[in-house]
Amino acid sequence: MRTRNTSAWLLLLAAAGTTVAEYLAPIAMTKANGFDPLGQWFDGVRLLKQKQPPAVDIAAAKKKDIAIVGAGLSGLTTYLLLHQAGFTNVQVLEASNRLGGRVHTQYLTGGPWDYSYQELGAMRLPVDYIDPDSKKKYNISDTQLVFELINELNRLNGGERSPHHIKLIEWIEKSDNGLQYFNGIRTPSGLPPTVKQIANQPGKYDSPEIHDADTKATDKKLQDSLPGNGFLLQMAKSMYKAHRQWIDGGLLDGAEPGDRWSEFSFLSQYLKGSLNSTDVLDLQQDPQGSFWETMYDGLYEDSDSWATIDGGMSRLPMAFGPLLESNNTVRFNTRIERITHSDEGTKPGQGKKLSLLYKNNFRDAVFQKSTHDYAIVSAPFTVVRQWRLPSLPATMRNAINNLVYDGNCKVSLEYSHRFWETMQNPIVGSCSTRTDIPGIFMVCYPSYNVGAGANNSGPATIMASYIDSSFAHEVARMRTMSDEEHVQYVLDAMSEIHGEETRKLYTGKWARKCWDLDPYSAGAFANPSAGQHELYIPVYMQVHKNMIFIGEHTSYTHGWISAAVDSGIRGAVQMMLELGLVDEAKAAVEKWMAPWVKT
């Protein structure tokens, strides 16, 4: 720990013509300081090395009282980086009674190694991408952040012998035997046709949609306007650089900024498509959004291979447990409702503080208070917009109030054994079963413990319904159902698709999650409208009234674990720079960002 004689230090500063305020000035992550909030933000830390900022009182900075609001993966990642940088007074305040946020595995029988579970939240990790032009395989760099986090937690927890060890296994994304149940069409076997049967006999079991001439012409214009394979490769190598490229000129080979056009406006106004063609070609059925989601989801969905966590994705946040417990760090069931900002300091340089207000019970008339120097808020804006907050700049306030979110519902059903693996055309893993039954969309079968089939006497669980509200608007109806009604509806659909004889194999155990109804998230993931990335992301990289905002909603991609991890790293670095800890920020960037992001 560095120490100094305060009087001598002040004399040295005066001789150098430097004031205490200048010496302790935060380093803002702004364009003026060499940061690119809409691109590779971490490159700015390297630039600070060349500026040689003066040293700071490191010990005092690392004793700052910091609250992290939310124990999802972004908040947990921020905690890990601050802890490893030597911060000694960091507390995590979590509204629920568990770690993980929207990473949530539901175990229907037993625990992880009984292998009857499904993911209520994030469920898979895209690993690599094959460039169609060069045929070369590239790691998807932002997923590498997640893999490095897993490696770090395994190292901290003692390796494979630890009960918290995280093991990656293959996620089976596709199956030729997935059932395609549309328009009630069945094969002579009585089951719907498989993906392979439709491919081998086109037109026999499917009714391809035929576009009119105007729609075909507009579609051709659209494909010519969107970036090609080179852009997908850039996203795989650096999602950050690709995002900057998209913002500057993502459409029409750089002629039009990507985030300024909604899908609807670009199709109907720029390409002059008819309203009918625009409605047909709106790829996300989300006309207010830009094509950015279409692009990055396209990259991920085209991944050559996928991974998931053996025993369930919840094992990732749970692996933080030993570190958090050893430092008595987490306070569960602390549901923040208000934040106040006041100058409570009496000593020079102590500055202003934050008070986080919460109730032990919603019926309480009096708030409890937790006071800190800084708060790093990882809670979704769908929750934060319900809080009473200090006065904030208009753009930050609008981001909290107006950022658009998507919703989804998942329903999982447990069966006595894996009947899908013993059918005439066995289905092993994948989410390849699709249907036009309203409210079902797709069915996902376990990618873990595969091949057990009839030899596995234990139960197993399928995700029997997975729908997002942006493209499956019937989710609004599903949310109005009670749990029991929704589960029965899905069970009836599974029996219709797989055969009525499978109904008797249902164990009666189920899990249902509609994230819009979850009080701790009030939505599934961010789904920004056109312009919201370009306008809002730069303000997330500013400190507002001693608050830093992180979470997948503040990153460049949404609905994927890598976005939460990226924002968690950024939040920790931002906190370090706010306190002038350039060396620590640089070390964090070199460890977490530099090795994986290709330039």
At 135, is the pLDDT very low, low, confident or very high (cuts 50, 70, 90)?
Answer: very high
Residue 345 has pLDDT above 60, yes or no: no
Most confident of 22-36, 50-64, 213-227: 213-227
Asked if 336 contacts 358 with a C-beta cutoff of 8 angstroms, the reply is yes
d(CA 496, CA 484): 18
Closest C-alpha to 429, from 448, 411, 414 = 448
Side chain identity, residue 189: S
pLDDT, residue 209, reads: 76
pLDDT, residue 61, reads: 92
Mean pLDDT (whole number) for 396-401: 98
Give pLDDT tens digits for 453-470: 555 668 999 999 999 887
pLDDT, residue 282, reads: 83
Give pLDDT tens digits for 184-200: 999 999 999 999 999 99
Q: Which fold has domain 20-99+320-402+527-592?
A: FAD/NAD(P)-binding domain (3.50.50)
Q: Which fold has domain 105-141+162-177+307-312+405-517?
A: Polyamine Oxidase; Chain A, domain 2 (3.90.660)
Q: Please indicate whether the domains covering 20-99+320-402+527-592 and 105-141+162-177+307-312+405-517 agree at the CATH topology level.
A: no
SS3 assignment for 561-574: HHHHHHHHHHHHHH
**What secondary structure letter does DSSP report for 320?**
T
Q: Give every CB contact of residue 371 below 8 A, 6+ residues apart in sequence.
A: 65, 344, 353, 354, 355, 356
Q: Which residue is listed with tokens 């009119």?
A: 212
As a whole number, the mean pLDDT across the chain is 91
pTM for the whole structure: 0.93
- Cα 540 to chain center, whole Å? 16
Any idea where the domains of the chain sit in the sequence?
Answer: 20-99+320-402+527-592, 105-141+162-177+307-312+405-517, 230-302
pLDDT, residue 474, reads: 84
At 131, is the pLDDT very low, low, confident or very high (cuts 50, 70, 90)?
Answer: very high
DSSP one-letter string for 237-282: H-HHHHHHHHHHHTBTTTTB-GGG--HHHIIIIIS---HHHHHHH-
